[in-house]
Structure 1
Amino acid sequence: MKKSILGYLSVLCLLMLLFNPGLALEGARQGILLWGNVVLPTLLPFMICSGVIVALNAIHILTGPFKPVLSKVLQLSDQGSFCLMSGLLCGYPMGAKTTSEFMDSGRIPGEEGQYLLAISNHPSPMFVLGYVLAQIRVIPGIAASCPIWAVAAALYLPVLPISILARKCYHYKKNPYPIPDNTESANQPFSFDDHMMGCFETMVKIGGYIMLFSILALYLTVFPFAMPPLLRPALLGAVEITTGIQAIAHSVPGMSGAMLIIGSAAFGGLSGIFQTKSVLKNAGLSIRHYMLWKLIHSALSIILFYVLAMR
């Protein structure tokens, strides 16, 4: 059944590309420009540096200052704390990628990996402050009532209630005895060239998904059928967050537009979900669970932003 549905969708997409190749070319161009100008220069250096930190067993240096919150409040091990921090600092899909790699190498147990997948994948602070906030302030009448702290709090504070739900869902309890770093990968010599080529491969995958979903988002903008006023921009935000957030900012006025932008950024879009799926090498991590957690996170972010912005 899944193969049949994907087959029909593939044929439909091919027909769309054939009937309007100019639109497909423009969507591909926008996706590649987004990848080359924003995603590649912001994500790749973090990806390379994080791999070097892991290879040099320097995780404790990075996570040490934040240990009271990461260890006591979120109940994470040192290795798990690094997964969360990589997701917070680097953005989609770095948190999921690090979690999957740490599970494969035996650095974290399966229960902690499932728990981390629920809380470790987020838009990076650079993307939030440099793009999301700027697009919200494009909306007339919103700039004065939208401080930086409200946007950041709405996107990142839901990690706390979700962490409680995820720990109960996966029956996760922090191991009081850290896992010794004697895994097979830890004992192998580190090759910087191999690591960098692996990062390049991941970035090419991410670029491919961004290009494809940018094309889809552009087709949605010219979809000929009538839709409710908020449905088209909401769909754009759910498909690809960068293109979608820009469309929302220029088409949905007032608080409704700001809330849609916050929800889109928290969810990450279908493009972000496919990017995350591409880096999940471990069978113990479920993309369906991940999607559910992102929907919950998006809903909590919208509610929290509304409460903070209306004060």
Structure 2
Amino acid sequence: MKKSIGRLLPVLCLILLLARPALAFTGARDGLVLWATVVLPTLLPFMICSGVIVALDGVGLLTRPFAPFFSGLLKLSPNGCFVLMSGLLCGYPMGAKTDSEFLDSRRISPAQARYLLAIANHPSPMFVLGYMADRLALVQGGSGCPLWAVALALYLPVIPVARLARRIYGYHGEEDPTPAAAGTSAAPFSFDVHMMGCFETMVKIGGYIMLFSILAMYLANLPFELPLMRPALLGAVEITTGIQAIAASVPGFPAAVLIAAATAFGGFSGIFQTKSVLKNAGLSIRHYILWKALHSLITCILLLGLQSLLLICG
């Protein structure tokens, strides 16, 4: 049965592409423009720089000012702090990529790596303050929700998700492996090899953005009306296209909730991007999907609570 579906699906996709080639062209173009103008210049420099920091043993220097907060609240080791910081600052899928690489090089333990996968992949502040904030401003009638409330609803769920993940994975905090055990000097660092690896990752990410942008374009042109379902579905498929559709078609505070939920979840495009950088069998993409769904749910609940509090105080 699975083999039959697997054979049939690409045939149906090909028929769909041939039936509506203009939509496929527009979706592919929009996805590649998004990748080239937003994702590539935002993510690639961080990706290259973080690899150099790790190779030069600069992780401790970077994480030392934040270690008391992250180790006290989230029970992270210094290397674990770096994984979380890379995910928070760089956006999808940098946190998962660093997590997988640190597990492969034995800089963190398997328990901490599984724990970090639940909390280390996020939208970057640049995306939130730039693209998402601009789309919230375009919501018909205003979203009725300040940007700081949306940002809190996006990032505060890390704390309850972290507590639950620690309990499930049996992680209670630990030190990083010693340099000898980690094998950090197993091979000399080559900047050219590192940069080519970053390029390879970016090409994979661009391919997934293009494919899911095509899918989003077909969903946006379905022949029947789905007033709330269509933009919500687009947000679940690809967050940039989805956020644009939500802002253009959903008025008021419901638009803010849908935009925050889509951003917290990361979209199936983000899930496939994350899967492409998880090269270690010890990290489960199924677990990751469940954690992101939980994070998105908590984001919605928290945003609703903040909005109610604002209405009461205002």
Name the TM tier (shorter chain).
Answer: over 0.9
Amino acid of the residue matched to residue 232 of structure 1? Answer: R
Question: Which residue is 2:165 aligned to?
Answer: 166
| Cα separation, 1, equivalents of 2:4 and 2:183 | 41
1:70-117 per-position Cα deviation (integer Å, ceiling 9, x unaligned): 101100011111000000000000000000001111111111000000
Provide the TM-score with structure 1 as the length reference: 0.96
Q: Does 1:199 align with 2:198?
A: yes
| Cα separation, 2, equivalents of 1:118 and 1:206 | 20
Q: Does 1:219 align with 2:218?
A: yes
Quick check: 1:32–1:210 contact (8 Å CA) kept in 2? yes
Q: Does 1:48 align with 2:48?
A: yes
Question: Which residue is 1:180 aligned to?
Answer: 178
Quick check: 2:145–2:253 contact (8 Å CA) kept in 1? no
Give the gaps of 5 or more residues in structure 1: none
| Cα separation, 1, equivalents of 2:119 and 2:171 | 13
| Cα separation, 2, equivalents of 1:158 and 1:94 | 19
Please show how residues 145-156 of structure 1 align to structure 2 within 5 Å. Answer: 145-156=144-155
Question: Which residue is 1:209 aligned to?
Answer: 208
SS of the residue 1:65 aligns to = coil
Question: Which residue is 1:287 aligned to?
Answer: 285
Of the three residues 298, 303, 306, the one matched with 1:305 is 303
Call closer, same or farther: CA 1:283–1:18 in 2, change over 3 Å: same
| Cα separation, 1, equivalents of 2:185 and 2:147 | 40
Question: Which residue is 2:82 aligned to?
Answer: 82
Please show how residues 70-109 of structure 1 align to structure 2 within 5 Å. Answer: 70-109=70-109
Q: Does 1:237 align with 2:245?
A: no
Quick check: 2:114–2:283 contact (8 Å CA) kept in 1? yes
Structure 1 moving runs of 4+ over 6 Å? none
Quick check: 1:105–1:185 contact (8 Å CA) kept in 2? yes
Call closer, same or farther: CA 1:56–1:2 in 2, change over 3 Å: farther
Quick check: 1:133–1:151 contact (8 Å CA) kept in 2? no
Call closer, same or farther: CA 1:4–1:80 in 2, change over 3 Å: farther
Question: Which residue is 1:249 aligned to?
Answer: 247
Quick check: 1:236–1:244 contact (8 Å CA) kept in 2? yes
| Cα separation, 2, equivalents of 1:64 and 1:148 | 30
SS of the residue 1:257 aligns to = helix
Give the gaps of 5 or more residues in structure 2: none
Call closer, same or farther: CA 1:257–1:48 in 2, change over 3 Å: same
Count of residue pairs brought into register by the alignment: 308
Q: CA deviation at 1:12?
A: 1.6
Quick check: 1:88–1:122 contact (8 Å CA) kept in 2? yes
Q: CA deviation at 1:226?
A: 4.1
| Cα separation, 1, equivalents of 2:6 and 2:156 | 36
- Identity rate, percent: 65
Q: CA deviation at 1:174?
A: 1.2
Q: CA deviation at 1:141?
A: 3.2
Amino acid of the residue matched to residue 215 of structure 2? Answer: L
Q: CA RMSD in A?
A: 1.2
